[in-house]
Amino acid sequence: MTNKITRREWLIGGTALAGGMVLAANAHAQSITIDGYVPTAANPIRMSSNENPYGINKKASIAMTNAHKYGGLYGGGGGQRPLTELIAGMENVPTENVMVAGGSGEILKTIALMVAMEGGKILAPNPTYDDTFMDYSNRRGIEKIWVPVAEDLSIDLDAMKAAYTDDVKIIYLCNPNNPIPTVMHGEKLKEFCKEMSQKCYVFVDEAYYEYVNDPNYQTMIPLITDYPNVVVTRTASKIHAFAGIRIGFGFGSTEMLGKIRSLMTGSINGPAMFGAIESYKDTDYQQFVLRKNAESLQILYDFFDKHGMRHIKSNANFTFFETGMDSKEVYDRIRKHGIAIGRPFPPKLDWMRISTARPEDTKFFTEAYEKEFFS
């Protein structure tokens, strides 16, 4: 399958070019709840990049400000060890099985590089997260075997297993998936990882882990100590709003993390690590974000139900809905109302991804959609 469009191509190739550049120049959390902010096509409410519309929390912000005094020191003042210990403790794994990076994207790209160097193909569901790992692996010329999602748009593990060939080096599973925020059944995924990791690497990207509400979900982190070919990533970019600050985590065997580290070229921002420590400890803030996310999702579900539009009950900070028309047209028409929503995700070109904004902004989106398509 060759009709994949990366976010990069979408921004460069489409009418979004001018908008994308303006977006970067105005990159702050636009919300109609903020005095004086008027959503426009050039400066839209951001419902396109699965960001946290509330931004970093106060405690993290203060910790980062304080940590600037270590800015002149290599290592940034020693935040890495306590952050690693905190995360390892939360996940109940030894610290040697945890790595910190400047965003999980660093690790995703490095794993793609590892595969490029070792040789072999990537086996992945379609659609899935097509940025970072996929984009980087495309640029390294790594071949893919794409497996369509099931009828209900969830990742089809049986079909993935059936599509495996001896030249597959890694299986990429995004759980929850992106752009379709479904999850795989925990027990089934665990068995899949155990079996398939005897044959190749199995990479489980858990970027949206914190948002999951499906009781059958399970993280694959507990597998990493006994199954050295399993690797898991998490990120502080989503519920912790560190997308621009850049902190992410890898979980794997010491052999696996050793290979990844040996190829990494990035370094980690010192103050960011002190901020992450406070943010991960601040469960009140996380609960607040989850509550607001659920409110926004409910506004979207109610709207989609009202118009009989198929959609996914989300396990993340975005959902996926059927537009019944070219998603590029939907993007353009909604952008005129001052709202940026997801880009086209082949092969589901008559569906659209939408990230949650604050509930007030999400309501504003439904009103714009109503006006544009139903009146």
Ligand X SMILES: Cc1ncc(COP(=O)(O)O)c(C=O)c1O
- In the complex, which residues of this chain contact ligand X (CB under 6 A)? 50, 103-105, 108, 129, 132, 174, 178, 205, 207, 235, 237, 243, 248
Distances in Å between the Cα of 175 and the Cα atoms of 179, 284, 324, 345 are: 11, 24, 26, 17
When CB distances to ligand X are compared, the closest residue is 105
When the beta carbons of 144 and 337 are compared against ligand X, the nearer one is: 144
Residue closer to ligand X by CB (options 293, 368) is 293
| Nearest distance in Å: CB 242, ligand X | 7
Spatial separation of the C-alpha atoms in residues 250 and 267, rounded to whole Å: 14
Q: Least distance from C-beta 105 to ligand X, angstroms?
A: 3
Q: With respect to ligand X, which residue has the nearer C-beta, 11 or 32?
A: 11
Question: How far, in Å, CA of 91 to CA of 323, rounded?
Answer: 39
Measure the CA–CA gap between 209 and 231, rounded to whole angstroms.
15
**3-state secondary structure (DSSP) of residue 76:** coil
192 or 208: CB nearest ligand X: 208
Nearest approach, Cβ of residue 138 and ligand X (Å): 16
Q: How far is the CB of 248 from ligand X (least distance, A)?
A: 4
Residue 137: name the closest of 159, 162, 119, 157 by CA.
119
Beta carbon nearer to ligand X, 108 or 157: 108
Q: Which is nearer to ligand X, 52 or 296 (CB)?
A: 52
Q: Which of 272, 371, 368, 277 is nearest to 47 (CA)?
A: 368
Residue 230 DSSP SS3: strand
Tell me whether residue 257 or residue 368 sits nearer to ligand X (CB atom): 257
Q: Where are the alpha helices (DSSP H) in 140-253?
A: 157-163, 186-196
Residue 11 exposed, middle or buried by CB count within 10 Å (0-12, 13-18, 19+): middle
- The string of DSSP letters for 7-72 reads HHHHHHHSTHHHHHHHHHHT-S---TTSTT----SSS-EEESS---TT-S-HHHHHHHHHHGGGTT
Select 207 or 334, whichever has its Cβ closest to ligand X. 207
- Judged by beta carbon, residue 40 or residue 154, the one nearer ligand X is 154
Tell me the closest approach of the beta carbon of residue 370 to ligand X, in angstroms. Answer: 28
Rounded to a whole number of angstroms, the minimum distance from the CB of residue 239 to ligand X is 12
Give min distance, CB of 355 to ligand X, in A: 10
Smallest separation (angstroms) from ligand X to the CB of 306? 28
Residue environment code for 296-316, b if the CB has 16+ CB neighbours within 10 A, otherwise e:
bbebbbebbeeeebebbebbb
Which of 45, 37, 50, 48 lies closest to 365, judged by CA? Answer: 45
**What are 235's strand-pairing partners?**
248
Q: How far is the CB of 243 from ligand X (least distance, A)?
A: 5
CA distances from 359 to 35, 59, 248, 293, 348 (A): 16, 23, 27, 8, 26
Distances (CA, A) of 17 to 3, 9, 13, 91: 20, 10, 7, 41
